[in-house]
């Protein structure tokens, strides 16, 4: 079995928010994603979806989009919140929504760590940490409100890291497992300048970071985000257009 990751599914069953206005890569993107997903992902696999899941504004309105994800292969789909997930209010309300609509493969990740097991290959087990993140305080357009949100998201990431040891106790896990981090917003800017988040990432021995949110801008050839290795940590953008609707296998 394998664990797969992607972000920014930007689903909208109503058709009111056609993503194709952002370029041909978004033409029929749910169908294209489903096609790749069905080819790659097995029923026993795990899938991580890192935010901007549905355009729905209300929880009930997100059900068809969540049902679309639920019926695709994968026994465990871990969802993180993006900046566009207005349907996602509180943890308990989202859990109730999942239970009430038999969305039995979906689970949310919020202020916590998750143990991702591979019963066939225990060497591939890892711990997932993360938070939504936000615009970096050093970004030119970050205002005082953004800095406040960033601070809150940084603390949520710290809560997730603090949960690693508790999780190991809960799961009776005694091994030193690799820790993989996932964010919706990239934790560093396109120039790969250091940030508070990169300092935390590096100090905790995380070697793999995935993020989404940054989308391709047609007609522009400039660098949009940092991908690659910095100070022993690899960073990858898994936004749906960046990965051309092909889920990425998590390698630890
Ligand atoms: Fe997005
Ligand atoms: Fe986003």
Angle at 227 between CA 223 and CA 228, to 5 degrees: 130
Q: Report pLDDT for 219.
A: 58
| DSSP labels, 3-43 | EEEEB---B-TTSSS-GGGG-GGGTTHHHHHHHHHHHH--T
Interval between CA 214 and ligand 2 midpoint (Å): 7
Q: Percentage of the chain surpassing pLDDT 70?
A: 98
pLDDT higher than threshold 90 for residue 221:
no
Interval between CA 165 and ligand 1 midpoint (Å): 32
Which ligand lies nearest to the CA atom of residue 183 in the structure? 2
Which ligand lies nearest to the CA atom of residue 135 in the structure? 2
Interval between CA 45 and ligand 1 midpoint (Å): 24
* Per-residue pLDDT tens digits for 117-154: 999 999 999 999 999 999 999 999 999 999 999 999 99
Q: Report pLDDT for 80.
A: 98
* Per-residue pLDDT tens digits for 227-249: 999 999 999 999 999 999 999 99
Q: Report pLDDT for 217.
A: 79
Please indicate, yes or no, whether the overall pTM of this predicted structure exceeds 0.95. yes
Interval between CA 80 and ligand 2 midpoint (Å): 11
* Per-residue pLDDT tens digits for 80-107: 999 999 999 999 999 999 999 999 999 9
Interval between CA 131 and ligand 2 midpoint (Å): 13
Q: Percentage of the chain surpassing pLDDT 90?
A: 91
Which ligand lies nearest to the CA atom of residue 8 in the structure? 1
CA distance 19 to 94: 25
């Amino acid at each position: 079995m394998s664990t797969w990751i992607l972000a920014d599914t930007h689903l909208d069953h109503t058709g009111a928010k056609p993503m194709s206005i952002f370029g041909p890569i978004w033409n029929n993107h749910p169908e294209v994603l489903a096609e790749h997903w069905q080819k790659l992902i097995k029923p026993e696999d795990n899938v991580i979806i890192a935010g901007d899941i549905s355009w729905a504004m209300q929880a009930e309105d997100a059900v068809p989009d969540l049902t679309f994800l639920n019926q695709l292969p994968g026994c465990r789909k871990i969802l993180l919140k993006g900046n566009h997930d207005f349907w996602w209010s509180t943890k308990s309300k989202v859990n109730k929504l999942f239970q009430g609509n038999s969305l039995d493969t979906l689970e949310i990740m919020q202020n916590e760590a998750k143990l991702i097991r591979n019963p066939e290959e225990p060497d591939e087990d890892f711990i997932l940490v993360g938070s939504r993140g936000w615009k970096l305080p050093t970004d030119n357009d970050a205002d005082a409100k953004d800095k406040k949100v960033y601070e809150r998201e940084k603390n949520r990431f710290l809560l997730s890291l603090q949960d690693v040891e508790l999780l190991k106790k809960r799961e009776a896990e005694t091994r030193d497992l690799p820790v993989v981090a996932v964010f919706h917003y990239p934790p560093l800017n396109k120039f790969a300048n250091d940030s508070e988040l990169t300092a935390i990432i590096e100090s905790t021995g995380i070697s793999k970071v995935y993020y989404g949110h940054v989308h391709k801008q047609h007609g522009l050839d400039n660098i949009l985000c940092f991908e690659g290795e910095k100070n022993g940590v690899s960073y990858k953008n898994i936004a749906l257009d960046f990965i051309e609707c092909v889920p990425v296998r998590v390698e630890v």
